[in-house]
Structure formats: C-alpha cells, structure tokens
Structure 1
C-alpha cells in the first residue's frame, strides 16, 4: 500500500478552488492528518447526524476557571477524542498551556506518531474558553457588568 493512500487525501477545508483549472484544492499525507485533527476537535460530539459519536466535547470546558484540573480534563478529553476519531495516529502526549497574556486562550499541543510511517509530529490547536463572545473576564473570573 502506498504511504499516501494510508495517510489520506481529501478536500482542503474550508473548500477552495484553484484559479487556473477550477479544481478543488486537495491536501494529503501529514497535512491531511493535521486538518483532520482540527476538524475532529472543532466538531461538537452529536453535531453530525450520520456520525453522532464523531467530534469532541471541548465545548463543555467553556467558561470554566483556569486551573490544573481544567488542564487535565482538556488533555484527557483530547486524547480520548483522537483515539476514537483519528485511527491513523497514536497520541504520544497532550499538553495544555495557558497563555499568560490572555485569560481566555488555551493552547493544546498534541504530539503524535503516524502509525504507518512511525514518524513523530506535533499539532497546535488554539482553544478559546470564551468562544463565540466578545466578553472579557473580570477579576477572579467574574463576568463584566
């Protein structure tokens, strides 16, 4: 089996078209896996009617206080989600980082090994704890008035 067949080839997301020949832009191999990781983590579990178990539960962590427990829960959730929905990789480590300059932004770094080629890669996924709002968090995590 060709390496690229196993690693996958698919439409670039969001869909884009080349100007010259009006073909759908494609990605393959490691780029396809990174795109797949993004799609899995951005999709809410239950959002796809034909694949109700596909996706992550990251939306459950919105508006939570930033602490060590939250880091552990996010890391465990990401690890389980990728184990279930991305069979081409083995997740080596998930690290959740709080950015000092931002109260709402969390960076999730996934270190993984591609099973077929045994090559190591990492993927950084930005996650906002205040997603979909223009709110800022006041002192002690209180909402502004």
Structure 2
C-alpha cells in the first residue's frame, strides 16, 4: 500500500495542529498531526480540559480534575469511567467508545491508568489508547 493510498483510506480521520503546539526547527512551520495520531491527541485534549474551561464551549472537556485527591476505590473507578464515556461521546464524533478500563497502578503514588477501547465510526476499526492520570498530583509539599 502506498502512502497516497493510505491518505485516501484514512482521510475521514482528519488532520490538524499537533498537540502540544510545536514548530519545526528548520523552516519554523507549525507541526501537524493526522489520522490516528490526530484522534489520540484530540482524546488527550478532551481528557485534560476541565468542564467549563473553554468560554464558548462550556460542555467541552473530560472534567477528570474533579477526581483529584479522592479516595481510590471502586466508586471512583465507576465515576471516572462514566465521565470519560460521556466526554468522548459528546466531544469526539469520529469514534465510539466501546470500553473504559480504569486501574489503580500505584495507590500510594495516586497513579490511575485508563485504557480506552474505541472504534472509528466510519470503518469500525478497533483501537486502544492509554491515558495516565495522577490522583495525588501536587501533594509533595514540604
């Protein structure tokens, strides 16, 4: 399969600015992302954005920050799963989330690993994305 054929097959996935926004060294052009990488970056932006943070799109974002410093138990897993499913359903129309698996990787360190399984709506191709989330962020005060 040639690179040109690959572009036609994945055209519907879209392209845009890379996240975080960076510029190329040689010609100072804006770096872009496309296809699967663009969707993963979009998921990352959604999950890192607080609800109401965007002034013209109050419903945009995952709102995961509300779970910082909460007790790490099964209830928290359910709340995180529900928040992610809802946020991606309304903010990323190119995918359908099929499963969200929340695991506590380091309870003392507050590390939560979120494994998303989703399908591209146009081709029903299945993909995964791992999003690390830190519950006890900012607790290293002296």
Same fold, judged at TM 0.5 (above): yes
Is the CA contact (8 Å cut-off) linking 2:15 and 2:34 kept in structure 1?
A: yes
CA contact (8 A) 1:44 1:56 kept: yes
Q: Secondary structure at the match of 1:99?
A: strand
Per-residue CA distance 1:102-121 (angstroms, 9 max, x = gap): 43110111000011122111
Q: RMSD across aligned C-alpha pairs, in angstroms?
A: 1.7
**Equivalent position of 2:53 in the other structure:** 47
Are residues 84 and 68 of structure 1, via their aligned partners in 2, closer, same or farther at CA, if it must alter by over 3 Å?
A: same
TM-score normalised by length of structure 1: 0.86
2:136 matched to 1:134? no
- For 1:59-70, what aligned pairs fall within 5 Å after superposition? 59-70=65-76
Equivalent in the alignment of 2:37? 31
| Per-residue Cα deviation, 1:45-98 (whole angstroms, up to 9, x for no partner) | 100101111001211111111111111111111011100101100101000000
- Structure 1 residue ranges without an equivalent (≥5): 136-144
1:84 aligns with 2:90: yes
Residue number in structure 2 paired with 1:111: 117
2 CA distance for matches of 1:127 and 1:45? 16
- Secondary structure, counterpart of 2:80 in structure 1: helix
* TM-score normalised per structure 2: 0.88
Q: How big is the shift at 1:101?
A: 6.5
| Unaligned residue ranges in structure 2 (runs of 5+) | 1-7
C-alpha deviation, 1:23, in angstroms: 1.1
3-state SS of 1:97 partner: strand
Please list every run of at least 4 consecutive aligned residues from structure 1 whose deviation after the TM superposition is greater than 3 angstroms. 2-5, 100-103
Taking the aligned partners of 1:124 and 1:66, their CA distance within structure 2 comes to 19
